[in-house]
Amino acid sequence: MAKIAQYAYLGGECVDIVDAKISIASSAVLYGLSIYTVFFAKDLGRGTMQAFRLPEHYDRLVKSSRMIGMDNLETYYSYDDFLAVIRQLVQKNDLVGDHFFRFTVHAVEILPGVRTSGLTLSLSAFVYEAKNILPRDDAHIKTSLWRRTADCAIPARAKVNGAYVNSALAKQEALDAGCDDCLFLNQHGFVSELSAANIFLIKEGVLITPDASSDILEGITRKTIIELALEHGYRVIERKVALTEVYTADEVFACGTSAFVAPITKVDGRKIGIGESGPMTLEFRSKLENIHADTNSSMMTRL
């Protein structure tokens, strides 16, 4: 398990993580009515850290809250407030090493019934050691018997805590089968994503990934890979993807904040490509790692 930092943020102040509590009668607990984002921060040594694509993470939090009807998050917490909380946590925890920061907006109203608007909101944040959720190389995945929650049931492009029951069920099924993660199909039988990462296939040098209407979370790492690929002259196709296309791809990789770029070498017991991390996958992994460490990158914010 990843090590969690001692100080968290809740209700306007830094508190010990053991004291960061919300009520068992809140909508957040009763209905999973919280929205969140997790971002990566790289330790550059000598007390300096930088975070990956912070404005995009803030924007996604705001859009997630809008989608589910939690009103006007940006009027409660501006981007500057968000940044100030991050910097407070960095200082208070005296962080050493790479970390993930998880920011959540909880509906903390007590017993309002099942509704999403006009509720009291509270921002929480905590920090934990940046451990990859997938093996760095050679991840094996299994198609889940569970289907990805349809966007018309719970918005797939919003990071709603309650929706992660779907991910937990499928991930557990994969772990029980001796795999590292699940591969979700959507209700129409097309490839969607992993439990907490997006998927890319590489065929004859072209990157293919399920499109935004395949019930995916539109990942910030996914967007970055697409931008990097186009910048370097690769073709990228976002479209519906059939499972057998995954089986026959030259390379397959997962990407996400906590998966980084993870080569997938087996799907449903079938070897992918040569059964080893592929050259294009490794190229994108190192491009992402270079950005994380680049003090001049416009994608990084100094904390």
Minimum distance from residue 220 beta carbon to ligand PMP (Å): 4
> Which residues, in sequence order, are CB contacts of 17 under 8 Å at separation 6+?
4, 5, 6, 7, 8, 126
Binding mask 154-173 for ligand PMP (x = CB under 6 A): -------------x------
- Surface-to-core class of residue 57, CB atoms within 10 Å of its CB (0-12 exposed, 13-18 middle, 19+ buried): buried
Q: How far is the CB of 167 from ligand PMP (least distance, A)?
A: 6
Q: The tokens 């996604």 sit on which residue?
A: 60
Closest distance to ligand PMP from the beta carbon of 215 (Å)? 10
Question: What DSSP element (H or E) covers 303?
Answer: none
Considering only residues 175-194, where is the footprint of ligand PMP by CB under 6 A?
193
Q: By rule CB under 6 A, what string of x and - marks binding of each residue 251-270 to ligand PMP?
A: -----xx-------------
Assess 196 for contact with ligand PMP (CB under 6 A).
yes
Provide the minimum distance between the beta carbon of 33 and ligand PMP in the complex, in angstroms, as a whole number: 17
With CB under 6 A as the rule, give the number of residues binding ligand PMP.
13
Positive or negative torsion for Cα 15, 124, 91, 40: positive
Dihedral angle computed from the Cα positions of residues 265, 267, 268 and 273, in that order, rounded to the nearest 10 degrees: -70
Residue closer to ligand PMP by CB (options 109, 193) is: 193
Q: How far apart are CA 109 and CA 87, in angstroms?
A: 28
The Cα-based distances of 157 to 57, 79, 112, 212 in angstroms read 13, 20, 25, 8
Q: Which is nearer to ligand PMP, 27 or 257 (CB)?
A: 257
Instruction: Tell me: does residue 210 bind ligand PMP (CB under 6 A).
Output: no
For residue 53, the minimal CB distance to ligand PMP (Å) is 8
CA-to-CA separations, 275 to 34, 130, 134, 140, in angstroms, rounded? 39, 27, 17, 10
Q: Which of 65, 104, 144, 221 binds ligand PMP (CB under 6 A)?
A: 221
Of residues 8, 51, 154, 217, which one binds ligand PMP by CB under 6 A? 217
